[in-house]
Amino acid sequence: MDYEIIKINRNSWRIEDSGVRFFLLVGTERALLVDSGRNIHNARDIAATLTDLPIMLLNTHADRDHTASNCQFETFYMHPSEEPNYRQGNRQGVILPALEGEILDLGERRLEIIHLPGHTPGSIALLDVDNRVLISGDPIQDGRIFMFGPFRNMPNYIKSLDHLRDWYGRFDEIWPSYASFPVSPDLIDKLRNGAQAVLDGKIPGQSEEVYGNKIQAFHLGFVTFLCDP
């Protein structure tokens, strides 16, 4: 088995897949996969070993390290801004729009959608309202945040972190897709200030190569931003 299933609490699991994680959230009526894996292609089958409830899928964004098992679903939730990214490579499936302010109710478990463009145009987070948890996708983490390439936008990323202040006080911890798990809400302001310092030219960058791309890496100690040269 090249993945690991870790139970978080009585109705939540994280599945660790080659450095990225996705989540299974279970309510009283249905279950939701948040992303579908990096290298595995049977996320739905894995989820079915953990719950007998109907399983839906939501993607925090369309990057391939979050969508490997989308082929198991005819429909899935995603922000409409992600469709150009998702359709690259002729990926199939019907996108159900996931828009900010909408609530996915799993049955006694409400998930509020928050739009966080920047890492990608349609990146979204989920506020697990009653459990006071923010499931953040890639934008909030203490590892490496990819900000190079055609879909990335650092000014929008900073605006999204500012936008999250509207939800301060409604979550006690954050579940990212990468790096440490969980992380503290304090990380949001650190990321915002660090990203602004990078944008303002106050942090020196280092020339590196990632997956054949020449990039500038900005190492801030608590996170690394990987940006266009």
Q: Examine residue 195 and state whether it is found in any structural domain, yes or no.
A: no
pTM of full prediction above 0.85:
yes
Note down the domain range covering 165.
4-185
Q: Examine residue 123 and state whether it is found in any structural domain, yes or no.
A: yes
Residue pLDDT, tens place only, 26-38: 999 999 999 999 9
The token duo for 159 is 């605006």
Share of the chain above pLDDT 90, in %: 97
Q: Examine residue 88 and state whether it is found in any structural domain, yes or no.
A: yes
Cis peptide before 182 (omega within 30 of 0): yes
Number of domains in the chain: 1
Q: Examine residue 119 and state whether it is found in any structural domain, yes or no.
A: yes
DSSP annotation of 166? G
Query: What separation in angstroms does the CA of 71 have from each of 27, 51, 141?
Result: 24, 20, 27
Residue 1 pLDDT > 70 = no
Q: Dihedral sign for Cα 72, 2, 63, 29, please.
A: positive
Nearest-CA neighbor of 134 among 195, 207, 183, 190? 183
Any idea what the CATH number is for the domain that residue 84 is in? 3.60.15.10
Residue pLDDT, tens place only, 42-85: 999 999 999 999 999 999 999 999 999 999 999 999 999 999 99
State the pLDDT at residue 122.
Answer: 98
Residue pLDDT, tens place only, 102-159: 999 999 999 999 999 999 999 999 999 999 999 999 999 999 999 999 899 999 999 9
Q: How far apart are CA 98 and CA 86, in angstroms?
A: 14
